[in-house]
A and B are shown apart, each in its own frame.
Chain A
């Protein structure tokens, strides 16, 4: 191609401008062809020879789609997804807190029931104790009165018995003199002969007094 152009350029000086134009075109073509062969793609690739991330011709499309996709993501997240997750978490927190409060309430109730049970138990125990105490006192008083009665009775009996004994003893002792008198009278009568009863008695009295 270049050779052909050089040949064209030579003959007529007047047509100098035309070959230059064709020259430029052909260089464009050759550059275009070269890039195509280098990449070996269908021409939809942006190949301008620069490092792809710095290829400014791709920026508008990237920015547009970034705006569309990120905008859509933001809308979906902020309007639908995140509020829903927040609702779920809040509902769970509420439920857990409610359950905990209910558990607390029930435990309070249980505690109250236990406390009232304890109180009633203590009261009943006190009552039972009082009743036992009272009964014991009653029994003791009963026992005491009966015992004192029995003791008094016994003391009376003992006293009367002692009285009787002393009386019997005195009586017996009184009879001793009489017996002694009889014995003396009998003895004297046997030994010496008759003595009067009064003499014997005097004698006995005389002896017993000594």
Chain B
């Protein structure tokens, strides 16, 4: 059981608030609970908030190292938003910053043994990407009105190609939340399963005696290497999510390509 690579993704209720709907019997209705997933979401928010708020408390003209870390993060995300969505996109800067840090710290938390990775659940990544899409669509229509639909008709395309291109554009737009969420979910899930399987080999082989211990060296090194790789993947996936969010927001701000 300890080597079950899927067990790490199991949601456990820490305490429940009760059930909505259902007929009162067990396993009916919607149970609202504070789960291990929720715990790490709250921890992530708490860590980011503490980091940014506490390190900038001094408001130093010359920053200390901690304050500099907050400033670097700010500048990094600000440059990302500015280069992808323009100066106008900076009104979404807090949103992109929150997304990036939330996913980044959530992914990094997942790298700590026994910590739960909430980004390895499709519902979380899908909700975040639907949030992005909702912001894009709502802001796009509010700002541009019907002109937002120009997004589906690339400019400079001959009239007879429009009926072909537009459905492609629509499908590509609709598949955005799916690709956005599945990319993050899949990376985190696969990474954690791989890590668990390889490190599981170390334990299984190690229990087989001297030869087993010798054989366990290889998966141990693999485990170390995959841990490094996963740390990189965690960072890259958060970055990809934030960059794509910026680019989609750019579509809402400037719908005509």
- Inter-subunit contact A85/B74 (CB<8 Å): yes
Interface 9-residue window, one of B29-37, B136-144, B168-176, B222-230: B29-37
Contact with A along B1-33 (1 / 0, CB 8 A): 100001001111110100010000001001111
- Inter-subunit contact A52/B10 (CB<8 Å): yes
Contact with A along B46-76 (1 / 0, CB 8 A): 0011001100100111010001001100110
Chain A interface residue count, CB cutoff 8 Å, equals 44
**In the complex, which residues of chain A have a beta carbon less than 8 angstroms from the beta carbon of B79?**
none
* Contact residues of A: prevailing secondary structure: helix
Task: Scan residues 95-130 of chain A and give those whose CB is less than 8 A from a CB of chain B.
Answer: 95
- Inter-subunit contact A69/B44 (CB<8 Å): yes
Please give the distance in Å from A69's CB to the nearest CB on chain B. 4
Complex: how many Å from CA A69 to CA B185?
19
Q: Does B97 contact A (CB under 8 A)?
A: yes
Task: Scan residues 106-143 of chain B and give those whose CB is less than 8 A from a CB of chain A.
Answer: 118, 120-124, 127-128, 131
> Chain A interface (Cβ within 8 Å of chain B)?
39-41, 44-47, 51-55, 57-70, 72-74, 76-78, 80-82, 84-89, 91-92, 95
Taking A64-B38, A74-B95 as given, write out 12 further A-B residue pairs in contact, using a Cβ cutoff of 8 Å, ordered by the A residue number. Answer: A52-B9, A57-B31, A58-B11, A60-B31, A61-B37, A70-B128, A73-B98, A74-B98, A76-B49, A80-B53, A88-B67, A91-B61
24 inter-chain pairs at a CB distance below 8 angstroms, sorted by A residue, are: A39-B1, A46-B11, A52-B10, A53-B123, A55-B11, A58-B123, A61-B33, A62-B11, A62-B37, A65-B42, A68-B42, A69-B102, A70-B41, A70-B128, A73-B49, A77-B94, A78-B94, A80-B53, A81-B49, A82-B93, A85-B74, A87-B59, A88-B59, A92-B61
